[in-house]
């Protein structure tokens, strides 16, 4: 009996000492400890998740030589009815790519240049561009009303909060309505696994 006990004790001692030496050896190699605190990370630039619409310029101002003018300031002084489709005078630098829709007064109301014009010549207020664009883009308007065209912000559930539908000229520049090309945000990091680069290097050696 005592012999067996002694034997067991000896085995235990051997195991425990081997464990001690193993633990010490591990410490000596200085393996990276478990990260109790996360690494320091660089913040993302705020414009990477900016929710501002692409063309959010809805001001009724015309910029010339670093001054801002309202339409009336120039157009009250002379006859505004210029039926040319070419950019003229102060607007000659403007670029138009709205297909065949080249005449200013197809959309702008020549009686009151701060409003848009409807089919019958009546005014469409400046803050409701949707009513103007639907004159031609009926199918797009139908999709927009249903929520299938254009971005929706806020709440999917009307009963819980307001749902904001962005309007035509928040994403499209009316004079160049094609959606602009954008700079893509950086591609995913290919070093998504820690020490991936190091291991990759090892494989190549």
Kindly list the residues in this chain that would bind other proteins in the complex (CB under 8 A): 1-2, 5-6, 9-10, 12-13, 15-17, 19-20, 22-23, 26, 33-44, 48-51, 53-54, 143, 146-157, 159-161, 166, 171, 179, 181-194
Query: Can you tell me whether residue 79 is helix, strand or coil?
Result: coil
Query: Measured from the CB atom, is 103 or 185 closer to other proteins?
Result: 185
Q: What minimum distance in Å lies between the beta carbon of 182 and other proteins?
A: 4
User: Shortest Cβ distance from residue 72 to other proteins (Å)?
Assistant: 33
Q: Report, in Å, the least distance between residue 30 CB and other proteins.
A: 14
Pick from 101, 128, 102: nearest CA to 114: 128
Smaller CB distance to other proteins: residue 50 or 77? 50
Longest Cα pair distance anywhere in the chain, in angstroms?
Answer: 121
- In the complex with other proteins, the residue whose CB is nearer, 88 or 155, is 155
CB of 116 to other proteins, least distance (A): 22
Question: What is the closest distance, in whole angstroms, from the C-beta atom of residue 7 to other proteins in the complex?
Answer: 10
Structural element, H or E, at residue 124:
strand 123-124
- Judged by CB, which is closer to other proteins: 35, or 205? 35
**Which CB, 117 or 133, lies closer to other proteins?**
133
DSSP class of 89: G
Give the nearest distance from C-beta 21 to other proteins in angstroms: 9
Give first-to-last CA distance, the chain, whole Å.
Answer: 59
Residue closer to other proteins by CB (options 88, 179) is 179
Dihedrals φ, ψ of 198, to 5°?
-60, -50
d(C-alpha 129, C-alpha 122), whole Å: 14
Q: Is the Cβ–Cβ distance between 107 and 121 less than 8 Å?
A: no
DSSP state for residue 170 in the 8-state scheme: H
Could you tell me the two tokens for 87? Answer: 């950019």
């Amino acid at each position: 009996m005592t012999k067996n006990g002694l034997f067991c004790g000896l085995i235990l001692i051997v195991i425990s000492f081997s464990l001690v030496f193993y633990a010490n050896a591990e410490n000596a190699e200085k393996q990276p400890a478990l990260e109790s605190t996360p690494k320091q990370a660089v913040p993302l630039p705020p414009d990477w998740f900016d929710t501002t619409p692409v063309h959010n310029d809805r001001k009724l101002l015309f910029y010339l030589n670093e001054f801002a003018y309202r339409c009336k300031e120039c157009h009250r002084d002379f006859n505004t009815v210029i039926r040319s489709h070419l950019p003229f005078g102060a607007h000659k630098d403007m670029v138009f790519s709205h297909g065949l829709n080249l005449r200013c007064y197809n959309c702008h109301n020549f009686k009151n240049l701060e409003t848009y014009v409807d089919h019958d010549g009546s005014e469409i207020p400046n803050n409701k561009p949707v009513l103007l664009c639907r004159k031609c883009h009926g199918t797009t308007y139908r999709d927009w009303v249903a929520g299938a065209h254009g971005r929706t912000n806020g709440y999917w559930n009307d009963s819980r909060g307001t749902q904001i539908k962005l309007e035509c000229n928040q994403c499209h520049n009316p004079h160049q309505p094609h959606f602009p090309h954008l700079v893509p945000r950086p591609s995913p990091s290919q070093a998504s696994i820690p020490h991936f680069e190091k291991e990759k290097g090892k494989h190549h050696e």
